[in-house]
Amino acid sequence: MKATGLLALIEAVRPRQWTKNLLVFAAVLFAKRLTDPAALADTFVAFAALCMAAGACYLVNDVADAERDRLHPDKAGRPVASGRLKPGTATVAAIVLMLAAVGSGFAVNSDLAVCVAIYLATTLAYTFTLKSVVVLDVLAIALGFVLRAVAGALAIQVEISVWLLLCTFLLSLFLAIAKRRGELQMLAMAEEHRETLGEYSAHLLDQMTAVVTSASIMAYCLYTFSDRTIHEVGSTDLKYTIPFVVYAVFRYLYLIHKRGLGADPSQLFLRDRPLLASVVLWAIVSGVILYLPK
């Protein structure tokens, strides 16, 4: 493969989007096993497996959506849509990455391999079917984030809190709905790019956002005060991370409604300093609470 083709392929697997897979590290963080070399190594393998799986699904998605992507002001420049990467090359690369992702899962344990396979199946179902079904499209996106969190727990063989899974699902659903609203604002003829966008309205998405926002904050508060969390942490101090979560959610709402952003959540987190600072501070404070001797 020529250098230009290789660069196009690397661009097509979207390394910038792999930050979503950092959710895999939630289990090793909250299980207090960040200082366990074996657990950390298995988590890194899980992270790599999901990055390869995500890259494969991005390639398949770009091949399937090439025509529609050419109607999008930003997506028209993607390697497949712009013609810089041949569909055949992208398809072969996707198959290789899928096999490598599942194989990496097996290198840790069979449970992780199954989780990676389910992630692939869910994401491919979204690409070919679910993204055209109203409501199920955003639910499928949120499920993908939940599977990332589950993968992290399976990699180190720990039980993940139901509350943490619920928080992950609700916050991911919030981001997915915000993404739809951002796309609706960005595109003059939204339904021509994605059929479901024609079924949504700003008012409907705002109502859905209000419900999910309230549920997300409440779920996280209940998680920090749950008996199991207090027992595992050894104190009720995790409640001090609540303000960071509330600020991050409200800051995101501000960026959606006042700045017209939200179509690309992963890049928004990296580019908006106050939002990034709130996430980093949440991680630092959580780490201090979990790992400092009581």
Q: Which two tokens stand for residue 263?
A: 């179509």
Q: Residue 154's pLDDT is what?
A: 96
| Alpha-carbon dihedral angle through residues 120, 154, 48, 172, given to the nearest 10 degrees | 60
Domain ranges of the chain: 1-160, 161-294
Instruction: Say what the pLDDT of residue 194 is.
Output: 61
CB 127 within 8 A of CB 57: yes
Q: Which CATH architecture has domain 1-160?
A: Orthogonal Bundle (1.10)
The three-class DSSP label of residue 264 is: coil
> Which pLDDT score, from 0 to 100, does residue 65 have?
83
pLDDT tens figures, 254-288? 888 877 666 567 777 778 899 999 999 999 999 89
Measured distance CA(261)–CA(236) in Å, rounded: 35
Q: Write out pLDDT tens, residues 147-157.
A: 999 999 999 99
- pLDDT of amino acid 193: 55
Name residue, tokens 């992290």.
152
Low-confidence ranges of the chain (pLDDT < 50): 190
Rounded Cα gap, residues 151 and 105, in angstroms: 9
- Cα distance between residue 34 and residue 119, in whole Å: 25
